[in-house]
Structure 1
Amino acid sequence: MNRLLFAATGLVISLSGTGALQAAPALPLAQPKAANLARMRAESLNGGLGSYRAAACMYETGATSCLISRSDEGFLFGFRGGSPGWEQQTPPDPTLETEVLVSRDGDRILAVPYNGPIR
């Protein structure tokens, strides 16, 4: 038992001294939910998954790199999309651009300010 305690203590001390464990900034709890809702709305508007894929950033937790703004009004996401496989083409060839505003709690689509050809 003492051996196990000694090993665990050594591990904690070695990890705490290296600075290797750094916490990522915390996302608001509603942001991942809002991102999923925004992506699903774009998929629905653009023909479903059989004919449309949102940019990879919309599949990241919270879609942080697709987040245009976070305000009292809600989360505004902006991203490109296109037919399945568009991001794997060289060069990637998106055909659509979408902006979706989701409520602060991540529960409702408030607006789709833009969904159309790339501007």
Structure 2
Amino acid sequence: MRVLSAAILVLMMPACTSMLLASASSGEGGVSTDNRSSAQVAADNTISATIRRKFSADSTVSQYAIGIRTIDSNVTLSGTVGSFPARDRAVQIATDTDGVNSVRNQVMVNTNL
């Protein structure tokens, strides 16, 4: 049984590798690269940390786990909150943060939270 399992594994490996390579070359999934400079990465990390700190201090949004991703000073917010005012407040906090170019809002509202 072990020999059969090993043989199946060996036969499946090339198929997995070719799917991974095809995925990476098409731009869908696979391995991605970050072309930002170290200074830009540091600036993006500072923006995210500042927004996170502001979220923690704000009574409207502090109770929710809102994801913050910053790339080239463009912020994406994600997660789920319990009200539309909480979602709007999160967007406003991010928008008002120094250094932010744009805010992409992917925060969902679930009033059953």
In proportion to residue count, which structure has more helix? 2
> Which structure dedicates a bigger proportion of its chain to strand?
1
Q: Same fold (TM over 0.5)?
A: no
TM-score range, shorter-chain basis?
A: 0.3 to 0.5
Give the TM-score, by structure 1 length: 0.40
With the length of structure 2 as denominator, give the TM-score of the two structures. 0.41
